[in-house]
Structure 1
Amino acid sequence: MLAFTSLFGAYFYGGVSSPFLPWLIIALLLGFFYLSERPILVVGLFFFNILGFCAAYLGWGFPELVPQQQLSTVGWISIMSATIYMAWMAIYYANMITMRSELEREAERHRETAVRLRQAKDMADIANRAKSIFLAKMSHELRTPLNAVIGFSEILLEDVGAEGKSARKKADLERINSAGKHLLSLVTDVLDLSKIESNFIELKIEEFDLNEMVREVVANVQPMVAEKGNKLVVKCPANLGIVSTDPTKLRQAALNLMSNAAKFTEHGTITLSVQRRRSQGGDWIEIQVQDSGIGIAQSDIGRLFRNFGQVNSATSSKYGGTGLGLALSQKLCALMGGGISVTSEFGRGSCFTIRVPASMSEQRSTNHDYFNTVSQPANVHVA
């Protein structure tokens, strides 16, 4: 439109000496500025207007509506205005180019940073896998001599008991046996954790009686619970039925929670609740361990499931442990398609809940119907 207006004014007022002609260049620059992605259209329209101007000149010539001398002042004003406008456009365009260049340089720096971060992540993943493989191999190698230490200590304990030797020797052998078993459990945790992180662990899905597994867990944890004068309460329906998952890993996760509850509770109550939540989408196993122990502050809960993570240094020094139990249990439950949740109040106890599918082939669901049937296992107080 500006090109047409310039040529129209030039045709009627001054021809090739018209003060309107400088704006023809402005029109061409604006066309390329606003339609840079369609340069052929800009050039086509420009030449179409020029051809129209030439055709009008050849057909009718330039009419002199205003004398040429009277247009000189207007011509200088038009040239100055066009020059100022072109200078402003040039400055604006230069600023735009500068900003675009800075943005491109910044984007290039971000791309380089992203590449470096990706390379660093890949190197860290490789190092982490190598570490996990190393730990798995070392833990496996450590178990052999530890089993020998435990086995020979048990043989010596039997000999001491049979021969009626001094109580001091028996106590020393019991310490050796206890320390060996404790170290073996730590090495086993490290081995299992490293296997999970290096993707070497596999689930062994079996059908088993959930009530029988609960009885095994209770039998294993009773000595630990009684050691600090605690009372064990079991809430478990008699008809949990047959489930299909990895019994060893589920038992291991439950034992870890129970041993933690026994460790951090003195002269209190530890409650084990096991239920089978039924729903149309599939059943879920829910194992809940509640204690009246020291509890956990809300600010410390986030560290519980980290590898080697413990609440604080004071708790670690007083109660011991490596902080692997909960991290390992969470990963085992995740492998089985579930997880562990926790609620706690500092100084009033904690409640950990395992939830895994009752059948690995069933569709997972989040809606469940609850029931509260209670039966009495042997030698355990039931609420």
Structure 2
Amino acid sequence: MTGLFSSQRNDAEIINIAGQQRMLSQRIALISAHPSFCDSSASTQQTLASTLDTFISNHTRLTQLTSLPKQVEQLYFSPGNLDTEVKQYIQQAQSRLTQVNCMQPTSPFTLDQVSNLLAKLNEVVYQFELHAKRRVDKVANIELFLWLGTLVLLLLEAKFIFSPMRKAIESTIASLKQSHLEAKTAMDEAKAASRAKSDFLSSMSHELRTPMNGLFGMIELALDTPEKSESYLQKAKAAGRQLLSLINDILDFSKIEAGKIKVEKSPVDLLQLMDDVVTIQRVYCVNKGLAFNYYKSATLPHIVEGDSTRIAQILHNLLSNAIKFTESGAVSLAVNETHIDDKPAIVFKVTDTGIGIADEKLSTIFQKFEQADQSTTRLYGGTGLGLSIAKRLAELMEGDISVSSTLGKGSEFTLSLPLFKANLPPMEVNEVASLRCAVVDDLQTSREYLQHVLTAMTIQPTTFASADAFLDGHPEQFDLLIVDLAMPNKSGVDLLREMAQLNISPFPRVMLISAELELLDCEQSIRRLIWKTHAKPINRRELE
């Protein structure tokens, strides 16, 4: 490119020299034929000599060009070439200068010779101009290609450099915005979690101190006033049970958070489990002056596969909450078999007519340390862990808990669990026959009826008319104990408390029966000793 532009810069000079040759050839011919040429006093000869020198110099310059155009080269050096004619023309002009006899101003050149030379020199000028024009066109084409190439390069640069760069910048900006938003959200969540934990610690401190103060206060009163110690100790025991319940909530939640809670899959007597839960929760409803409604579908399977402890824990939690937040009206439990996503499921619906939950709070009540608001905590107490634990347990059992509520009118919590029907392993006849069974009931008719039913099942029971009689008869020898709840002097619960202190191992299976199971009110440690509960009258199918 540099050489091309350098050659192009010389084109104008070369064309000018070639054009000058035409003029010089005409001038030489004119001077040679001028009338004053032979006048020694005139400067015509000097002018011719000077013109001839310039003509020779220009000819030499043109014919010795390193980049002589091919057409010009052919004009100068092909047969009958211009170079020979020019040199001959120069010789003729030089001979004119050296002519001795200059009396006659006769021109050494013929008209045809001068015209022919002029035509060829014109052709040389034309070829130089044509060559220069081609160079200009070539440069123009190169400029065009360079412009197009630059344009293509810019387009490629825009596509492969600037466009990705723009996208990268936009992506970075979007990412930064998203990161900023996430950071802000995380900060808000962290602040909310911090507030929730602070509120939790505050309420937990209150919740733990209240039963603890009651526990120690009642113990001190029992020590100071022995004549009322039994009443005070009963209240201290109730405070201890409340404290234990709080601690159990915290321990359960910590186990769930650590992933250490495993749900079991074993045969569960669903109907018995629900009856046990309802029996206890109905008592709490009655004590608070609330109606308790219980409905179970007739199509419910008797035995299902699941974790009876965790199912009961969730139901107790939902029902306890419903009772706690309901001041008047009713609490209901409805259990149905249904299908969710074409899969069989059991749905438990706990409905109350309590304070309800605001719409904006529904999404947070299953979060840890959360209640509808702090005024709820202050008014009703609680740790804010119960529903979170229930939700996580339901999810561990491949189920879920949902809620719908109207503020001031009540709430409905729905527990859905997958339904896996199962069968309890049948007890061998000889195993049933070998059961050592005791029946403890103060009513003779009840003892006789149960003895008749059990005998028909090849079980030979030993009957007792009171708790004391049973305790005197070596209670550790029995595998199954059927005991009435409401007996005079010592109730069925009192009997179990005394048996628990005997450290009997293995502890017999206990079936608690009564016409009024709603009267069942005992601590959790005693409830765990109860295998089944049945309302009187009891039939053989229930015993089986």
TM over 0.5: yes
Aligned residue in 1 for 2:237: 177
Pick from 356, 359, 362: which aligns with 2:417? 356
Amino acid at match of 2:293: V
Going from structure 1 to structure 2, the CA distance change for 1:237 and 1:70 (only over 3 Å counts) comes to closer
Aligned residue in 1 for 2:356: 295
Aligned residue in 2 for 1:3: none
Q: Deviations over 1:314-359 (max 9, x none)?
A: 1121111111111111111111121112111111101111111232
Q: Deviations over 1:135-194 (max 9, x none)?
A: xxxxxxxxxxx99x98x999x79x99xx9823xx66654453333222211221222222
Aligned residue in 2 for 1:165: 227
Determine if the alignment matches structure 1 residue 199 to structure 2 residue 259.
yes
Aligned residue in 1 for 2:282: 222
CA contact (8 A) 2:299 2:337 kept: no
Determine if the alignment matches structure 1 residue 310 to structure 2 residue 371.
yes
Amino acid at match of 2:238: S
Going from structure 1 to structure 2, the CA distance change for 1:107 and 1:83 (only over 3 Å counts) comes to same
Pick from 100, 110, 123: which aligns with 2:164? 100
Aligned residue in 1 for 2:532: none
Q: Give the Cα–Cα distance (whole angstroms) in 2 for the partners of residues 84 and 278 of structure 1.
A: 73
Matches within 5 A, 1:266-305: 266-277=327-338, 283-305=344-366
Q: Give the Cα–Cα distance (whole angstroms) in 2 for the partners of residues 285 and 91 of structure 1.
A: 68
Q: Give the Cα–Cα distance (whole angstroms) in 2 for the partners of residues 276 and 93 of structure 1.
A: 67
Matches within 5 A, 1:99-248: 99-101=163-165, 165-166=227-228, 172-237=232-297, 240=300, 241-248=302-309
Determine if the alignment matches structure 1 residue 335 to structure 2 residue 423.
no
Q: Give the Cα–Cα distance (whole angstroms) in 1 for the partners of residues 246 and 256 of structure 2.
A: 15
Name the SS for the 2:227 alignment partner. Answer: coil
CA contact (8 A) 2:334 2:350 kept: yes
CA contact (8 A) 1:337 1:360 kept: no
Amino acid at match of 2:246: L
Pick from 138, 141, 148: which aligns with 1:75? 138
Going from structure 1 to structure 2, the CA distance change for 1:378 and 1:300 (only over 3 Å counts) comes to same
Q: Deviations over 1:70-123 (max 9, x none)?
A: 534433432333333334344444455245356568879969x99xx9xxx9xx
Going from structure 1 to structure 2, the CA distance change for 1:273 and 1:164 (only over 3 Å counts) comes to farther
1:297 Cα deviation (Å)? 1.4
Q: Deviations over 1:33-92 (max 9, x none)?
A: xxxxxxxxxxxxxxxxxxxxxxxxxxxxxxx9x954553443343233333333434444
Question: For the aligned residues, what is the CA RMSD?
Answer: 4.2
Pick from 289, 310, 315: which aligns with 1:249? 310
Pick from 345, 354, 357: which aligns with 2:406? 345
Aligned residue in 1 for 2:101: none
Q: Give the Cα–Cα distance (whole angstroms) in 2 for the partners of residues 70 and 280 of structure 1.
A: 86
Name the SS for the 2:271 alignment partner. Answer: helix
Name the SS for the 1:290 alignment partner. Answer: strand
Higher RCO, 1 vs 2 (CA within 8 Å, ≥6 residues apart):
1
Pick from 251, 259, 265: which aligns with 2:326? 265
Amino acid at match of 1:256: N
Aligned residue in 2 for 1:4: none
CA contact (8 A) 2:304 2:421 kept: no
Q: Give the Cα–Cα distance (whole angstroms) in 2 for the partners of residues 153 and 233 of structure 1.
A: 38
Unpaired stretches in structure 2, ≥5 consecutive residues: 1-6, 8-126, 187-210, 423-514, 519-544
Going from structure 1 to structure 2, the CA distance change for 1:93 and 1:283 (only over 3 Å counts) comes to closer
Name the SS for the 2:362 alignment partner. Answer: helix
Aligned residue in 1 for 2:431: none
CA contact (8 A) 1:336 1:356 kept: yes
Name the SS for the 2:370 alignment partner. Answer: coil
Name the SS for the 1:261 alignment partner. Answer: helix
Q: Give the Cα–Cα distance (whole angstroms) in 2 for the partners of residues 97 and 284 of structure 1.
A: 58
1:227 Cα deviation (Å)? 3.6
Amino acid at match of 2:256: I
Name the SS for the 1:165 alignment partner. Answer: helix
CA contact (8 A) 2:279 2:517 kept: no
Q: Give the Cα–Cα distance (whole angstroms) in 1 for the partners of residues 329 and 281 of structure 2.
A: 15
Q: Give the Cα–Cα distance (whole angstroms) in 1 for the partners of residues 299 and 268 of structure 2.
A: 13
Provide TM-score, normalisation by structure 1. Answer: 0.58
1:291 Cα deviation (Å)? 0.3
Q: Deviations over 1:282-316 (max 9, x none)?
A: 64222111000011111111001111121111112
CA contact (8 A) 1:211 1:238 kept: no
CA contact (8 A) 1:336 1:360 kept: no
Pick from 131, 137, 147: which aligns with 1:84? 147
Going from structure 1 to structure 2, the CA distance change for 1:282 and 1:79 (only over 3 Å counts) comes to closer
CA contact (8 A) 2:364 2:370 kept: yes
Name the SS for the 1:302 alignment partner. Answer: coil
CA contact (8 A) 1:228 1:265 kept: no
1:232 Cα deviation (Å)? 0.8
Going from structure 1 to structure 2, the CA distance change for 1:92 and 1:178 (only over 3 Å counts) comes to same
Q: Give the Cα–Cα distance (whole angstroms) in 2 for the partners of residues 236 and 164 of structure 1.
A: 49
Going from structure 1 to structure 2, the CA distance change for 1:244 and 1:321 (only over 3 Å counts) comes to same
Name the SS for the 2:328 alignment partner. Answer: coil
Going from structure 1 to structure 2, the CA distance change for 1:224 and 1:101 (only over 3 Å counts) comes to same
Bigger CA radius of gyration:
2
**What percentage of aligned pairs have identical amino acids?**
30
